[in-house]
Amino acid sequence: MGEKIQQIYEPLNSSTAIALVNRLGLFPENSALTCSEIGDGNLNYVFHIVDAGTGKGIIIKQALPYAKVVGESWPLTLKRAVIEANALKIFGSFCPELVPKVYYSDEQLAITVMEDLSHLKIARTGLIEEEEYPLLSKHIGQYLAKTFFYTSDFFLEPGKKKDFAKQFTNPELCKITEDLVFSDPFFDAETNDFESALRQDAETLWADEKLKLEAAKLKKSFMTEQEVLLHGDLHTGSIFASAEETKVIDPEFAFYGPAGFDLGQYLANLIFQVISRKGSSRENIYAHLKEVWETFEDEFSRLWKEEGKEVYCKTQGYLEYILEKTFTDSLGFAGCELIRRTIGLAHVKDLDSIAHEAERIHAKRTALQLGRALIINRQQEARIESLETIVKDSLLA
């Protein structure tokens, strides 16, 4: 690995990206390198550099000083690149098999150079194509249990945890979530984006004071509960997968927040698959919903019993209280994610790619109604079996 190179910020292009990896000595001298920009997310450039001789590749991810999904009118901090690189390193230290390796990062250039995962597919894309990922939710359950436990007060010395929380203060990216997930979809905000056929549904939702009160409580939880180091944007587009492997990418939204948030986003993005699929192919997704929770519960309980440092870890009923709170919170966060991806900014392909308009609108109405039901009823539905029932009921409505 070459030495750290001091740079001032400039957006990379294919030739400067190749020049950079050459300067860093990441490939043998005189390798025939090709580079393509493959970023299809909302915020960043992603360069894929391949050595034509060996077929080996690497990824350079570069933050742009604005949100790509909107354009230069939405400035965005470059510091998110440092947050992302540091979060990848920390999460990778707990579950190296589930997180890409970081080879180099540079705060000035806002880049992270990391493992090439192009042999895998983005899980959202694969799920839409109805590929089977038999290990995906087991892996994500393990990832959630380890990242939760090892960054929490149940394991960390309190001063260390507070240092981490300070290091991962991420106000600009949190503000995006506060607005786009927790506020805008519940009001007639300019950022909202939906088909005119859904206007009546959106207006009904904006007038629903019972729902808004619960959304306010969830937003407060997101803004104030510094429980664990979250990924912060754990939808199925932030996961690479194959039948055997899973890698969680893109933790630029990482911060200390409520433990149920990552789980809730993952559940919601699986639920988009239940909604968009038909008939028996839904069963596979119900199995994923159950698997992620049960794996999380087993692994987290094991870590708590074997490695818990907090003095109350041995107190009867405390583990059960934490598990129940995490699950209940996750249902509420899942409900917010279902609603925001349907009528807010930044949709999901699972629903938007339904070609037949009436079917698409029906699917989106289901997502809105189910989102509402999860938010409002989250306290009464504190068992994983209830989640499947509530999803099935919404499909019949």
Binding site for Mg ion (CB under 5 A): 41, 250
**Which of ligand SR1, Mg ion, none interacts with 308 (beta carbon under 5 to 8 A by kind)?**
none
The 3-state DSSP class for residue 303 equals helix
- Within residues 351-380, the interface with ligand SR1 by CB under 6 A covers none
Instruction: Quote the CA–CA distance of 284 and 129 in Å, as a whole number.
Output: 13
- Within residues 172-211, the interface with ligand SR1 by CB under 6 A covers 176-177, 180
Specify the residue, 69 or 395, whose C-beta has the smaller distance to ligand SR1.
69
The 3-state DSSP class for residue 67 equals strand
Q: How far is CA 282 from the centre of its chain?
A: 22
**Which of ligand SR1, Mg ion, none interacts with 67 (beta carbon under 5 to 8 A by kind)?**
ligand SR1
Specify the residue, 180 or 254, whose C-beta has the smaller distance to ligand SR1.
180
Q: What is each CA distance from 113 to 9, 107, 109, 120, in whole angstroms?
A: 15, 12, 11, 17
For 92, list phi and psi in degrees, rounded to 5.
-65, -25
Specify the residue, 79 or 282, whose C-beta has the smaller distance to ligand SR1.
79
171 near ligand SR1, rule: CB under 6 A? no
Q: How far is the CB of 379 from ligand SR1 (least distance, A)?
A: 26
- Within residues 253-272, the interface with ligand SR1 by CB under 6 A covers none
Work out which of 84, 184, 233, 291 binds ligand SR1, going by CB under 6 A.
Answer: 233
Q: How far is the CB of 43 from ligand SR1 (least distance, A)?
A: 6
Instruction: Quote the CA–CA distance of 26 and 20 in Å, as a whole number.
Output: 9
346 near ligand SR1, rule: CB under 6 A? yes
Work out which of 12, 67, 83, 368 binds ligand SR1, going by CB under 6 A.
Answer: 67
How many residues touch ligand SR1 under the rule CB under 6 A: the total is: 9
Q: Which of 101, 111, 24, 100 has the alpha carbon at shortest distance from 62?
A: 111
Work out which of 14, 16, 22, 42 binds ligand SR1, going by CB under 6 A.
Answer: 42
Specify the residue, 202 or 346, whose C-beta has the smaller distance to ligand SR1.
346
Q: How far is the CB of 251 from ligand SR1 (least distance, A)?
A: 11
Q: Tokens standing for 388?
A: 């499947």
Q: Tokens standing for 313?
A: 């870890």
DSSP per position, 68-108: TTTEEEEE--TTHHHHHHHHHHHHHHH-GGGSPPEEEEETT
Q: How far is the CB of 38 from ligand SR1 (least distance, A)?
A: 16
Specify the residue, 201 or 250, whose C-beta has the smaller distance to Mg ion.
250
4: which DSSP letter?
-
Q: Is 372 exposed, middle or buried (0-12, 13-18, 19+ CB in 10 A)?
A: buried
Specify the residue, 229 or 322, whose C-beta has the smaller distance to ligand SR1.
229
69 near ligand SR1, rule: CB under 6 A? yes
- Helical packing angle, 318-343 and 199-206, nearest 10°: 140
Residues that bind ligand SR1 (CB under 6 A): 42-43, 67, 69, 176-177, 180, 233, 346
